[in-house]
Structure 1
């Protein structure tokens, strides 16, 4: 497909982010099962729920623009998911806290990709005067930031990093 204007780029990136979310959903669920810290496990389950809700909203946005949300495969998230599995699930760890610290780092890498995607799409929507789209994407961006900050709190204030040290 030729990308001729910002509308085309916006549509392409909606599909890319949908793919990214779809891939990270499964990995986040797996990381949640592997986490030993109860608060971390619960946060990852909440993260998976948030990803699923985001996918539903992206799918709805795609429908309003008559595009298939499955139209792209996000290679960036494919790599991040591969890394998350290799480093957070398949690696050998001396103790559970060390694994939990690694799980947080791998999850946050995936989340930061989503933050970039939501932020970019919100900016595109606003430039294209797609006010409703922009509001939805800005809300998803805010929710994703909240989840990322919560994960940082679990690592630093909740004690995961301290226990791993």
Structure 2
């Protein structure tokens, strides 16, 4: 894709974020299945729903510009998903709390990537005076922050202490 203006960059980044969410959704489903703490499992399942909601919102925005959401493949999230598999899903653990602590770590790394993506496209939408899209993206960003805070609360509320 040739970038002629900020709108081109905006669409590209929306597509990249859609791809990132698509990859993170599957990884989060697998992390939820591997988690042993009930609160963690519930939070990860809620995370899957949040990711799906974000994907739906991005789909509407992208197709509204006459583009397809699947126009980009996010290599950044691909690496984070590989890390989640290597460190949380495929690794051997002798303690469930340690695995749960690692699951939170890997999930939060993926979430932080999404936070950066949503923050960038929000700034672009505002600059392009796409107020309705900015409002939708801001909602996705806020929900992603909330999911991140929930994971921090679960980690600091007991899992990290038990894992120590």
Taking structure 2 as the reference length, the TM-score comes to 0.99
How far 1:94 moved relative to its partner? Answer: 1.7
Task: Quote the residue 1:74 is aligned against.
Answer: 74
The question of 1:146 aligning with 2:146 is answered: yes
How far 1:108 moved relative to its partner? Answer: 0.2
Instruction: Report Cα offsets for 1:24-60 as digits up to 9, x if no partner.
Output: 0000000000000000000000000000010000000
Task: Quote the residue 1:106 is aligned against.
Answer: 106
Structure 1 Cα separation of the partners of residues 5 and 87 of structure 2: 39
Task: Quote the residue 1:21 is aligned against.
Answer: 21
Task: Quote the residue 1:162 is aligned against.
Answer: 161
Task: Quote the residue 1:65 is aligned against.
Answer: 65
Instruction: Report Cα offsets for 1:12-35 as digits up to 9, x if no partner.
Output: 000000000000000000000000
Task: Quote the residue 1:96 is aligned against.
Answer: 96
Correspondence list, 1:27-38, <5 A: 27-38=27-38
Structure 2 Cα separation of the partners of residues 88 and 43 of structure 1: 16
Structure 2 Cα separation of the partners of residues 2 and 63 of structure 1: 19
How far 1:63 moved relative to its partner? Answer: 1.2
In the comparison of the two structures, how many residue pairs are matched? Answer: 164
Moved over 2 A (4+): none
Structure 1 Cα separation of the partners of residues 142 and 53 of structure 2: 13
Taking structure 1 as the reference length, the TM-score comes to 0.99
Structure 1 Cα separation of the partners of residues 122 and 66 of structure 2: 18
Q: Which residues of structure 2 form unaligned runs of 5+?
A: none
